[in-house]
Structure 1
Amino acid sequence: MKITLLLSISILSIIISTTLLIGSHTLETIKVGDKAPDFVLKDQDGKVHKLSDYRGQRVIVYYFPKADTPG
C-alpha cells in the first residue's frame, strides 16, 4: 500500500513538473506596430487562408464561435 502511494505521488510529481517546465516557455508578445506573424486559418467552407497571401492588403480577422459551442 505504501509503495503504491509513493509510486503514485512520484509519477504525479513528474507529470506536474514536466507540465510546468513545458508551460514556462514565454511567447514573444506582439506590440502595436509589429508585423503580424504568418498564420493559416480555415473558413466555414473549408477554404484555407494564409495571412501571407494577403501581403500588402489590409486584413481584418473576425472570429466568432460556432453556434451551440462554448466560447
Structure 2
Amino acid sequence: MTTPLQVLGGPELLVILFIFLIPVAIVVGVAYLLQRRSNAAAADERRIDELEHQVEELQSEAESRDHREQSDKIDGESD
C-alpha cells in the first residue's frame, strides 16, 4: 500500500528557504561591496581632479603675483 505525499511543515520550509537564500545573500553582498568600491574609486578620481585644478589655479595666481612684484620693483628702481 502506498502512502500519500506529505506536505512540508514549517521547519522544513525554513531549511529550504535558508538553503536558497544564503548563496543569494552572498552573491548580493559581494556585488554590493564591488559596486561600493568602484564608486569610491570614482569619487576619489573626481576629488583628485578637483585638487589638481585648484593647484593649477593657485600656481597661476602665484606666477602672476610674482610678475607684478617684479614689474613693480623695476618701475620703482627706474623712478
Give TM class, smaller chain.
0.3 to 0.5
Larger helix percent: 2
Computing the radius of gyration over CA atoms, which structure comes out larger, 1 or 2? 2
TM-score w.r.t. length of structure 2: 0.36
Larger strand percent: 1
